[in-house]
C-alpha cells in the first residue's frame, strides 16, 4: 500500500493542488495538521482536504490556535507572522462550522492496520502540538521527545518505538533513534529547508521505503493572493521571502 503523507499546508491551496496533481499514485492519505495560518486560503484548504477523505487527519498547533483562540506556541522567528495572518486572514475567512471541525481533530493518532503500526503526531509524543523534532537534534534530545510524561493523555507508556510520523518542523526527516524511526514529509505550503518547492512524503507499507517528493508550484500566484489580503508590507515581504527561498 502506498500512503501519501502531507503536513503543514498553511492555507496554500495552490501548493496543495499541485502536489496532488504530480504525486505518484497512492492508496491512502495521511494529513499531519496545520491547514491554516500564513497562507491566503485557509477555508478553501480545509474544505479541499475534507473532500479528499484522509484516512488519518491531525490537528496542528495553528489549527488549535484558530479553533480555541489561543497562541500558536510556534517558533520565535515566525510568531508575529502567525499572529498577523491568524487575525487578518484565518479568523476572518474560516466559518464557525470549520472551527468546530478543527476542534474535533486530535494531534495524535495510532495506526495498526494490515501489518503496519505507527504513531502519527503533529509535534512529538512528549508534546504533540509544540515539540520540534528536528533532524539536526542530538539523539538524546529526540529520545526525550519520544518519551511522554507518565500520565500522558494519549496512553503512551515509556519511549515510543517503531515508526513515528510527524510534521510541524517544515523540514523533511528520516532518522533512527534506537528502535524508533522518525519520518517527516516536510511542508506542503511553506517549506523551510532551503527548497521552496512543495514537499510531501510517500510511504510504502510493504517495503517501508519513505520517499520525499518535491514539486514546483506557482508561488507568484500564491503571493498575489497574499498581497491582496495583507496591508503591512513588512509582514508581506517576510512571508514572500519564505515562500520564494524556503528559508525563514
Indicate if the pLDDT at residue 225 is higher than 90.
yes
pLDDT bucket at 113, cuts 50 / 70 / 90: confident
Neighbours of 207 (CB within 10 A): 7
Length of the chain: 248
The SS3 of residue 201 is strand
Indicate if the pLDDT at residue 228 is higher than 90.
yes
Percent of the chain with pLDDT over 90: 94
**Taking all residues of the chain, what is their mean pLDDT, rounded to a whole number?**
96
- Over residues 168-181, the mean pLDDT reads 98
Is pTM, for the whole model, over 0.85? yes
Res 230: pLDDT: 97
| pLDDT tens-place string over residues 144-166 | 999 998 867 787 888 999 999 99
Apex 208 CA angle, 56 and 11, nearest 5: 35
- Give the separation between CA 243 and CA 246, rounded to whole angstroms: 6
Sign of the Cα pseudo-torsion (141, 147, 153, 154, in order): positive
Res 181: pLDDT: 98
- Over residues 107-116, the mean pLDDT reads 90
Assigned C-alpha cell, 181 = 524511526
pLDDT bucket at 128, cuts 50 / 70 / 90: very high
Indicate if the pLDDT at residue 57 is higher than 80.
yes
> Which domains, and CATH codes, for the chain?
2-245 (3.60.21.10)
| pLDDT tens-place string over residues 1-40 | 999 999 999 999 999 999 999 999 999 999 999 999 999 9
Amino acid at each position: 500500500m502506498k500512503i501519501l503523507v502531507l503536513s503543514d499546508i498553511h492555507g496554500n491551496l495552490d501548493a496543495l493542488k499541485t502536489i496532488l496533481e504530480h504525486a505518484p499514485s497512492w492508496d491512502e492519505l495521511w494529513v499531519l495538521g496545520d491547514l491554516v495560518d500564513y497562507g491566503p486560503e485557509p477555508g478553501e484548504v480545509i474544505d479541499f482536504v475534507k473532500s479528499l477523505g484522509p484516512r488519518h487527519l491531525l490537528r496542528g498547533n495553528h489549527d488549535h490556535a484558530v479553533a480555541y483562540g489561543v497562541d500558536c506556541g510556534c517558533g520565535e522567528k515566525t510568531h508575529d507572522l502567525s499572529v498577523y495572518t491568524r487575525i487578518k486572514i484565518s479568523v476572518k475567512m474560516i466559518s464557525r462550522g470549520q472551527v468546530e471541525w478543527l476542534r474535533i481533530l486530535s494531534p495524535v493518532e495510532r495506526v495498526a492496520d494490515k501489518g503496519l503500526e505507527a504513531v502519527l503526531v503533529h509535534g512529538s509524543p512528549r508534546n504533540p502540538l509544540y515539540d520540534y523534532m528536528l533532524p539536526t537534534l542530538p539523539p538524546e534530545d529526540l529520545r526525550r521527545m519520544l518519551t511522554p510524561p507518565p500520565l500522558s493523555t494519549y496512553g503512551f507508556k515509556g519511549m515510543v518505538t517503531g515508526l513515528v510520523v510527524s510534521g510541524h518542523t517544515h523540514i523533511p526527516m528520516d532518522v533512527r533513534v534506537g528502535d524508533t524511526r522518525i519520518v517527516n514529509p516536510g511542508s506542503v505550503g511553506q517549506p523551510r529547508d532551503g527548497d521552496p518547492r512543495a514537499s510531501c512524503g510517500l510511504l510504502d507499507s510493504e517495503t517501508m521505503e519513505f520517499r520525499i517528493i518535491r514539486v514546483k508550484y506557482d508561488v507568484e500566484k500564491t503571493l498575489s493572493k497574499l498581497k491582496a489580503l495583507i496591508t503591512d508590507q513588512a509582514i508581506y515581504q517576510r512571508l514572500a521571502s519564505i515562500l520564494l527561498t524556503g528559508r525563514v
